[in-house]
Amino acid sequence: MQNGEEKSDIYNTVLFAIGRKPLTDKINPEAIGLKYDPNGKIPVNEEELTNVDNVYAIGDLLNAPELTPLAIQSGRLLAKRLYNGSKILTDYVNVPTTVFTPLEYGSVGLSEDAAIAQYGDENIEVYHTMHTPTEQVVREASPLEGYNYAKLVCNKAENERIVGLHYLGPNAGEVTGGFGLGLIMGATKTDFDRLVGIHPTSSEVFTTMSITKRSGKSIDVEDC
Which of the residues are catalytic?
A: 199
Q: Which residues, in sequence order, are bridge partners of residue 212?
A: 127
- End-to-end, the C-alpha distance of the chain in Å comes to 43
Q: What are the backbone angles phi and psi of residue 27, rounded to the nearest 5°?
A: -105, 15
Specify whether the CB–CB gap between 153 and 112 falls below 8 A.
Answer: yes
**Residues 6 or more apart whose Cβ sits within 8 Å of residue 129:** 149, 150, 205, 208, 209, 211, 219
| H helix runs in the chain, sequence order | 68-83, 112-119, 134-137, 172-184, 189-194
Specify whether the CB–CB gap between 191 and 104 falls below 8 A.
Answer: no
